[in-house]
Amino acid sequence: MTDKKKVAILWLGSCGGCDETIVDINELILGVVNSVDLVLWPVALDFKYHHIEKMADGEIALGIINGHVRNSDHAEMAKLMRQKSQVILAFGACACFGGTPGLANLRSKEDIFRWVYQEAPTVINPKGVCPQTTTRVDGKELTLPEMFESVHSLDQVIDVDYYLPGCPPPPYLVLKAITAFLENTLPAKGSSLASHKALCDTCPRNASKPNKVAITEIKRIHEVEADPTKCFLSQGIICMGPATRSGCGESCININIPCRGCFGHIELVADSGAKFLSGLASMIDADDEAGLEKISDQVRDTIGYLYRFSLPISIMNQKKLQSDEVKSDD
Amino acid sequence: MTKKITINPITRLEGHGKIDIFVDDKGNVEDAYWQVVELRGFERFCLGRPAEEMPRITPNICGVCPTPHNMAATKALDDLYSVSPTPTAKLVRQLQYNSFMLEDHFIHFFFLSAPDFVVGPLADPALRNIVGVIQKAGIDVGKKVIDIRKRCREIMALIGSKPAHPEGGVPGGVTRGITEEERVWIKKTADDAVTMTQFALDLFKDVVLKNKEYVDLILNDAYKLQTYYMGLVDESGNVSFYDGNIRIIDPAGKEYAYFHPRDYIEHIGEWVEPWTYVRLTHLRKVGWSGLIEGEGTSLYRVGPLARLNVAKNMATPLAQKEYQQMYSVLGNKPSHHTLAFHWARLIEALQAAETMQQIANDPLLTGTNIRNMDLKLKKVGIGCLEAARGTLIHHYETDSQGLLTKVNLIVATQHNAAPICMSVKKAAQGFVKGTDVEEGFLNMVEMAFRAYDPCLACATHSLDKPMPLELNIRGLDGNIIRTVRRE
């Protein structure tokens, strides 16, 4: 037996990038693995769910969960992890905010199924078949999890103790979070384990940002060669920096690409999209309402920019979630 | 009475999946199903998005193979806007892409497939992992593998922001070039990558080819599947990762089709089954023939072995020598031996490393002309390249503003999904006789799908623990008849 703290890593509706960023701490992962007792990591280890089911409630010291909740398997595993874990860390943008796949909340499940299984140009489906939760083939039963109507962030399904944002969180923040856990220096419950500043405050182009940004034309990233030294907004390019939490290391800015908000909302802001929209309105430089409308119409995909990673937790999405299946299962 | 064996979840796999195996009352495997258990719907929720955002959105499909999605999206934008990247931009993209291919193939070999060969398919499961590999190959090798992976990902980050989700990529170019100072350390990384890949191939040959049992295993009918093969080839017919035409050969090796990726719909169909969320691709003109191999099949495979099967040669000299040796051992082209995917993967890694060297030596790499801004929107764009695990196609259609009206994506696992089902079934049929299931069987079945999946770059196996696995054999009423454990 070991007296090391038990840690479980689980992925739900995930792309694998969060697991990859754990490996990206490179040689230091050997030390981390030796410091804890890893009891689950499906991408890397062959422990099965029944191993977790057999554990005592609260036996796992830290449950790290990445990915959103989109189907019955995800919800079931999230609830099991909550039951068995003292501390739950929502790891990455999908777990924290729903992530990019959360944009699927703009579409019904039926609409998605119709395209994927019937209308896409390569599909050949003469009988109109769709995946079923239970199928009998030659007398043999096969089952699939039920896909929910909406994508959910983790805290819409279970109680979450800490949030580590980013798509994925950068390796240095992963190490910092693990170190805080091992040294018992985690902050107050509910905290984000990232900077409390906005990206604009740490952006290397901050000095070039004028006191008052005056946008006369919105430009798309493929239309212009952005000046790599100047604030994107001052060049008329949508950048979510003012409404996004810092901590990414400005990795996108460094390759001359504006922020899309994967670190989510800044401290004390409930809705990063609304926050940004309010700021953007004040930056548009127009003499009259018609001029204002002309420039604002140049923002071609408002939701896609403002809620690229956070639609499931936005105020826009709340009515839909109230009637969703996950809540009724509690 | 038929018994149902469920492996759920499949671990050390990128994404969620499960396997159901049905065993008859004589102990023979009747059937097996490999199921994909979720759907996210990127094709649909991307509608209305500006097309130029797709290189930033689609890497979220897969955080282990994000670079292929970023690059396929970028190439689709080139096509959508009728623009060619500048020579420097193309070199920068190919540097990024070959760094990815090398890193992905490398981690798959050392962390996933090597334990089955270097340690042994029937070895103590407690040792059949990366630690066992390091024990056999030496700690210095382990450190060098981690180091090469790290340095390749630094190159990827330099060009694409985050290696786990590249953000760069614009029609006609890249957003950031390479400086002379950076080129110097890129060159050193490429040189070291060639050396390390040659070492990996030597290790494979020492351990596998000099061991008759392993060679027999590779050539075992349980790991053989006769299908068509598909992959990109360059203008000389050689293995190509970044661009080229698609070549398909039939199970006998005869050319079945050769076409520009823009014509993919004429050749590829996707079948829907109610028991899996993944669409099952097949040859449209042959027509869906179900899960069968050999004569009459409409199934094809993609990925490392498929690419080598469809190509005339490798594109680089050192890789070419290895390619010739592989087929001299395996016999005639095409090889249908599923485990040979691992060997082909290492040969491709060598091509990627040699290509990185060539690019790092090219003075154009550090040029400053990195964007071609002569964009002419034509409303349809198709991008195609070879992801580590196989052919990847992004198809976008837009309105006059470049906002997406249609998105169709075909990824490697779709091409291979039906063959993976069949491979799992054949491995089970080959290694399960009677009801006395040996522990080694579990690993043998896992090896059947592991060969296809290089997208487990983060699968580090257990570093200090055995890898327990449990199978519950249930009757059709759901009751457990027998439990098989490996601890």
Find the largest Cα–Cα distance for chain A: 73
Q: Three-state secondary structure along B354-401?
A: HHHHHHHCCHHHHCCCCECCCCCCCCEEEEEEEECCEEEEEEEEECCC
pLDDT digits (tens, 9 = 90+) for B96-140: 999 999 999 987 888 777 777 777 777 766 566 666 777 777 778
Token pair 């540097």 is found at B95
Average pLDDT value for residue range A287-312: 93
Higher-pLDDT residue of A135 and B15 is: A135
A70–B463 C-beta distance less than 8 A: no
Of B60, B455, B469, Cβ closest to residue A100 = B60
B29-36, strands of its sheet edge to edge: B29-36, B17-23, B3-7, B469-475, B480-486
Average pLDDT value for residue range A56-69: 97
- Is A260 an interface residue toward B (CB < 8 Å)? yes
Interface test with B, best of A1, A25, A45 (most B CBs within 10 A): A45
* Single-letter amino acid code for the residue at A257: I
B48–A15 C-beta distance less than 8 A: no
Residue in chain A closest to B53 (alpha carbons) equals A221
Residue in chain A closest to B406 (alpha carbons) equals A120
Higher-pLDDT residue of B477 and A281 is: A281
What tokens were used for B18?
């499960």
For A86, counting Cβ atoms within 10 Å of its Cβ (0-12 exposed, 13-18 middle, 19+ buried), the class is: middle
| B-contacting residues in A 98-117 (Cβ below 8 Å) | 99-101, 103-104, 106-107, 111-112, 115-117
Say how far residue B383 (Cα) sits from the centre of its chain: 18
pLDDT digits (tens, 9 = 90+) for B151-170: 999 999 999 999 889 999 99
Residue in chain A closest to B104 (alpha carbons) equals A20
Q: What is the pLDDT of residue B397?
A: 98
B175–A255 C-beta distance less than 8 A: yes
Q: What is the pLDDT of residue B476?
A: 41
A–B interface: beta-carbon pairs under 8 A:
282
| B-contacting residues in A 267-296 (Cβ below 8 Å) | none
Question: Using a CB-CB distance cutoff of 8 angstroms, which residues of chain B are in contact with residue A34?
Answer: 463-464
pLDDT digits (tens, 9 = 90+) for A183-225: 999 999 999 999 999 999 999 999 998 889 999 999 999 999 9
B451 contacts B342 by C-beta, under 8 angstroms? yes
Of A132, A138, A139, Cβ closest to residue B274 = A132
pLDDT tens track, chain B, 487 positions: 677 777 666 655 565 667 778 888 888 888 888 877 777 889 999 999 999 999 999 998 887 789 999 999 999 999 999 999 999 999 999 999 999 999 999 878 887 777 777 777 777 665 666 667 777 777 788 888 889 999 999 999 999 999 889 999 999 999 999 999 999 999 999 999 999 999 999 988 988 889 898 888 889 999 999 999 999 999 999 999 999 999 999 999 999 999 999 999 999 999 999 988 888 999 999 999 999 999 999 999 999 999 999 999 999 999 999 999 999 999 889 999 999 999 999 999 999 999 999 999 999 999 999 999 999 999 999 999 999 999 999 999 999 999 999 999 998 888 998 999 999 899 888 876 655 566 566 677 878 888 886 342 222 112 223 333 344 444 444 455 445 443 3
- Is A133 an interface residue toward B (CB < 8 Å)? no
Question: Using a CB-CB distance cutoff of 8 angstroms, which residues of chain B are in contact with residue A45?
Answer: 11-12, 461-462, 465, 467
Question: Using a CB-CB distance cutoff of 8 angstroms, which residues of chain B are in contact with residue A172?
Answer: none
Q: What is the pLDDT of residue A57?
A: 97
| pLDDT surpassing 60 at residue A134 | yes
For A289, counting Cβ atoms within 10 Å of its Cβ (0-12 exposed, 13-18 middle, 19+ buried), the class is: exposed
Interface pTM, i.e. ipTM: 0.94
For A324, counting Cβ atoms within 10 Å of its Cβ (0-12 exposed, 13-18 middle, 19+ buried), the class is: middle
Query: DSSP letter at B428?
Result: H
B9 phi and psi angles, rounded to 5 deg: -80, 155
B52–A220 C-beta distance less than 8 A: yes
pLDDT category at A36 given cuts 50, 70, 90 is confident
pLDDT digits (tens, 9 = 90+) for A143-168: 988 999 999 999 999 999 999 999 99
pLDDT digits (tens, 9 = 90+) for A234-275: 999 999 999 999 999 999 999 999 999 999 999 888 889 999
Residue in chain B closest to A261 (alpha carbons) equals B56
Pick the range with the lowest mean pLDDT from A69-78, A173-182, A311-320, B327-336: A311-320
B63–A20 C-beta distance less than 8 A: yes
| B-contacting residues in A 155-194 (Cβ below 8 Å) | 167-168, 170
pLDDT digits (tens, 9 = 90+) for B63-93: 778 999 999 999 999 999 999 999 999 999 9
| pLDDT surpassing 70 at residue A282 | yes
Residue B239 Cα, gap to closest chain A Cα (Å)? 26
pLDDT digits (tens, 9 = 90+) for B291-311: 999 999 999 999 999 999 999
Q: Please state the pTM of the whole predicted model.
A: 0.92
- Is A32 an interface residue toward B (CB < 8 Å)? no
Q: What is the pLDDT of residue B454?
A: 35
A23–B457 C-beta distance less than 8 A: yes
The mean predicted confidence, pLDDT, of chain A is: 90
Strand-pair category, A140-143 with A134-137: antiparallel
Interface test with B, best of A39, A141, A172, A222 (most B CBs within 10 A): A222
